[in-house]
Structure 1
């Protein structure tokens, strides 16, 4: 064991951070300013949970929190803090129980997505898309999300009167776009009552049905299926079940597009801070877990990774959050501000460090006759059809 760890947690962590060119109480914007000396021992005993909680409690500050996290993860310093009881407990829970069962699935809707439509309206783009935008050819968040929506529709090869299922439709932005721009009929499902109400209002008058429904309950037939930013809530014990539901509901010649954050390593639990404060029961799939789940069910037509675009998306959300905080603070607490500040900026740093990825995977059941043409670029003129 490192001698400095035994004699001084402060010395150990200070030396560790130096490897990432971070100085404790330094003068650069990514240097951490420690205001409570209990911070050092707390990090060594509780890991990432303590890092986030001590920020919420004001034990430390950082002018460029996203860059601080980027440097920690880019230099793999997270692997230098020993396995702690909190992490061991979370791993045990994930192994012994199905944390994303039909009974538990609504928890993330109640605790996160129902936080308030006012928050998300002020933070997100005009389509209310709560997933990574596509920034090639885009100058604004609205453009990045609209280009992404159009890319998804083109990858699915949507045409007039096709029937589309959106698993985890959020506030209805994708089904509304697909109905208006591509003339499809659509069904969107969500487990959030606030999203349900908002999506039904925005899609009124369109051939779009919004349901409060768990994905396991869907039995309809669809020409194309999409799921964007929802698979992170499915859980490794349910990956195969999810894929079997898609296979059951997808027409034999149809396409399924899965858009998800991906992990570089196979795990069986999520980060303990994010599990407690942001996305209860969430976890990121690895490539190995995904290919295992689709085996014998689908043919892999395309696998696209544009994870670096999430850094820019998160910073755009954070800019909106900061700019609108004077309005939001009338309803939300100062603790809420610090939680969401840490959430958005630490995620941005994680994607900048390539600690996480964003995958768009296109699957078919029988394989496309003549092959599938990959799409990587927005339309030459604009993102609308």
Structure 2
């Protein structure tokens, strides 16, 4: 039953827990307020549900139509500017996630293809409409760019220049997505690329679109990698590696990198060292996902590689996500018309919640975007970075 009176709203608000009242008050968010980031309540049990389930309850209740907000990105920006000490999760959620990260290996070889099946195999038709022509599902580089396509091409060229690619080199792309970086590097810099992915949809699209370039794509887990390469790159994949596998990941990269090689890691990063991930994101978007901190990365590569450069352009992910959201909204009517049995209103609400929640997180600087350049411990000479 929707709330139709201020008295009903105030009664529900009065019964809400202190933590929810604090969230809303300190973030300057009102129930049924007039501003774009205010919450329009459709179910009187909303605040009680958030009390019990915190972040999970907020996300699932939105998917179920319990509330609306015209500017979810601004809502989450305000919430994340004020939220402290992991209050968005209950005590039991914290305990469960700690156990999952420290006791179980959610990202084992056996489970490696789970995220590919759950998220990246959602459908190429969605990603082709939402992303840029190179189908980059990672942060663009918006310096001197005024649109998504330019920002993503900037990012691709920035990576190639940081890797100092030269014709005839071999490039290993760990988590190659839909092959946009492999295509760019092969076409513009004359290198031969081997890419690996855990998504069948991605592999099939690469085989179709890039068959005329020296690109090989393997459907396999990074722990199965063999061979030696002049350069290694990994974009937007480390977030799926998991706390228990960080060192293994760097050992594989170190093993596959030639003595004079360069390895570039492009990853989302967290400001606070933690073993947890937002429960809603874990369940609905990136199962087994984990955002690393600088400390966790540093401990994992210690003794294996030398860090030559650490570049942060986290605010650019806000712009990237909002550009994706704009494309998603524009293409949605056509998408459901062509694929009525595949996409529904729940998916629509889940996807727009995900995109704008993440945009708000980067806007609040709760998340960062790092490009880190490594070389082997024995690499000769100095490394001069580019921007």
- TM-score band, normalised by the shorter chain? over 0.9
Q: Deviations over 1:333-385 (max 9, x none)?
A: 11100000100000000000000000000000136544221211xxxxxxxxx
Which residue does the alignment assign to 2:263? Answer: 256
> Which of 92, 103, 109 lines up with 1:102 in the alignment?
109
SS of the residue aligned with 1:227?
A: strand
**CA shift for structure 1 position 307:** 0.5
Which residue does the alignment assign to 2:272? Answer: 265
How far apart in 2 are the matches of 1:36 and 1:12? Answer: 19
**CA shift for structure 1 position 38:** 1.4
> Which of 316, 327, 348 lines up with 1:337 in the alignment?
348
Within 5 A, what are the aligned runs for 1:277-316?
277-316=284-323
Within 5 A, what are the aligned runs for 1:1-385?
8-9=15-16, 13-76=20-83, 79-81=86-88, 83-330=90-337, 331=339, 332-366=343-377, 369-376=380-387
How far apart in 1 are the matches of 2:102 and 2:240? Answer: 16
Which residue does the alignment assign to 2:6? Answer: none
Q: Could you list the runs of 5+ residues in structure 1 that have no partner in the other structure? A: 377-385
How far apart in 2 are the matches of 1:269 and 1:77? Answer: 14
Q: Kindly tell me: are residues 109 and 12 of structure 1, through their superposed partners in 2, closer, same or farther at Cα, counting changes over 3 Å? A: closer
**CA shift for structure 1 position 12:** 5.5
Contact 2:17/2:51 (<8 A) preserved: no
Give the structure-1-normalised TM-score. 0.93
Contact 1:176/1:202 (<8 A) preserved: no
Contact 1:269/1:282 (<8 A) preserved: no
How far apart in 1 are the matches of 2:194 and 2:336? Answer: 35
With 346-355 and 94-103 compared, the bigger mean Cα shift is at: 94-103
Q: Kindly tell me: are residues 219 and 42 of structure 1, through their superposed partners in 2, closer, same or farther at Cα, counting changes over 3 Å? A: same
With 215-224 and 329-338 compared, the bigger mean Cα shift is at: 329-338
Q: Deviations over 1:235-269 (max 9, x none)?
A: 01000000000000000010000000001111223
SS of the residue aligned with 2:111?
A: coil
How far apart in 2 are the matches of 1:245 and 1:170? Answer: 19
SS of the residue aligned with 1:358?
A: strand
Q: How many residues align?
A: 373
Contact 1:45/1:84 (<8 A) preserved: no
Q: Deviations over 1:143-176 (max 9, x none)?
A: 1000100000000000000000000000000011
How far apart in 2 are the matches of 1:111 and 1:27? Answer: 37
**CA shift for structure 1 position 328:** 1.3
Contact 1:14/1:24 (<8 A) preserved: no
How far apart in 1 are the matches of 2:367 and 2:223? Answer: 27
**CA shift for structure 1 position 283:** 0.7
Q: Could you list the runs of 5+ residues in structure 2 that have no partner in the other structure? A: 1-10
